């Protein structure tokens, strides 16, 4: 299992709950993304979840509803979770690299992600999951390695310095564009299911 380090530097260590963190994040204007979106999409799910899912950023549906993964990609993610007997609200906490929608659903720029990542790092610390699934290359590159390629690293367990097991896989939106990615993602989530069972039964 590959040992990895993701940047965990932030100035939010004094924030002791997700609700408090959300209240601080909602008016955030650290980068230009906030000016072009409806609002901050903070994240949602079980605050004590053993499994955390991290995507790229809000799309149009997410921006309008203020919730992560509610569009077509989110509906597919719900189906994938259901297939491994997990419910997003009961068993997972879901967040994104950036919390404001990039124009035209483009990938966030490094400077935009850099301003937003401290919120995510504190979310990870507060949820304290045993497992993290990184959905897509943006999550992989921002949390693990800017040069990492999802095609090469998906399906491999990584482990953070704090002991969290991390599984990179394709973003559900990629499956909607390329049906050939469905089988690899299913294989990856079966590994997640098996690891989750071990943790839950332990």
Tell me how far apart the alpha carbons of residues 182 and 177 are, in angstroms, rounded to a whole number: 10
* pLDDT for 8: 52
41-61 per-position pLDDT tens digit:
999 999 999 999 999 999 999
Mean pLDDT for each 10-residue chunk of the chain (202 residues)? 53 91 95 95 98 98 97 97 97 98 94 95 97 98 96 96 96 96 98 97 86
- Give the CATH number for residue 76: 3.40.470.10
**Rounded to an integer, what distance in angstroms lies between the CA atom of residue 118 and that of residue 108?**
15
pLDDT of 66: 96
d(CA 48, CA 70): 21
User: What is the C-alpha to C-alpha distance for residues 47 and 97, in angstroms, rounded to an integer?
Assistant: 18
Full 3-state SS string of 38-53: CCCCCCEECCCCCEEE
Q: State the pLDDT at residue 2.
A: 53
Cα angle 100, 120, 63 (rounded to 5 degrees) comes to 20
Looking at residue 202, its pLDDT comes to 79
Six-digit token string for 167:
């599984």
Query: According to the model, what pLDDT value does residue 48 have?
Result: 97
Instruction: Render pLDDT for 96-132 as a digit per residue (tens, 0 to 9).
Output: 999 999 999 999 999 999 999 999 999 999 999 999 9
Tell me 193's DSSP state.
H
**CB of 60 closer than 8 Å to CB of 125:** no
- pLDDT reported for residue 197: 97
How many distinct structural domains can be found in the chain? 1
Joined together, the tokens standing for residue 101 give 């929608």
Query: From CA 2, how far away is CA 158, in angstroms rounded?
Result: 5
Cβ distance 54 to 139 under 8 Å? Answer: yes
Q: Which domain holds residue 44?
A: 2-201
Q: What is the pLDDT of residue 3?
A: 53
């Amino acid at each position: 299992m590959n040992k990895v380090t993701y940047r965990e530097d932030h100035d939010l260590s004094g924030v002791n709950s997700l609700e408090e963190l959300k209240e601080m994040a909602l008016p955030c204007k650290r980068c230009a993304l906030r000016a072009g979106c409806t609002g901050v999409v903070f994240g949602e799910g079980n605050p004590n979840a053993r499994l955390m899912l991290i995507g790229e950023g809000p799309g149009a549906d997410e921006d309008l509803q203020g919730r992560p993964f509610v569009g077509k990609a989110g509906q597919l993610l719900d189906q994938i979770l259901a297939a491994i007997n997990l419910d997003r609200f009961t068993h997972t906490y879901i967040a994104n690299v950036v919390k404001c929608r990039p124009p035209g659903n483009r990938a966030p720029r490094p400077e935009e992600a850099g301003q937003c990542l401290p919120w995510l790092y504190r979310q990870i610390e507060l949820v304290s999951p045993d497992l993290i699934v990184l959905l897509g290359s943006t999550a992989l590159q921002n949390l693990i390695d800017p040069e990492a390629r999802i095609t090469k690293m998906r399906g491999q367990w990584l482990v953070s310095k704090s002991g969290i097991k991390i599984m990179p896989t394709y973003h559900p939106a990629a499956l909607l564009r390329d049906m050939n990615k469905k089988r690899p993602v299913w294989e990856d989530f079966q590994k997640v299911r098996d690891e989750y069972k071990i943790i839950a039964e332990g």
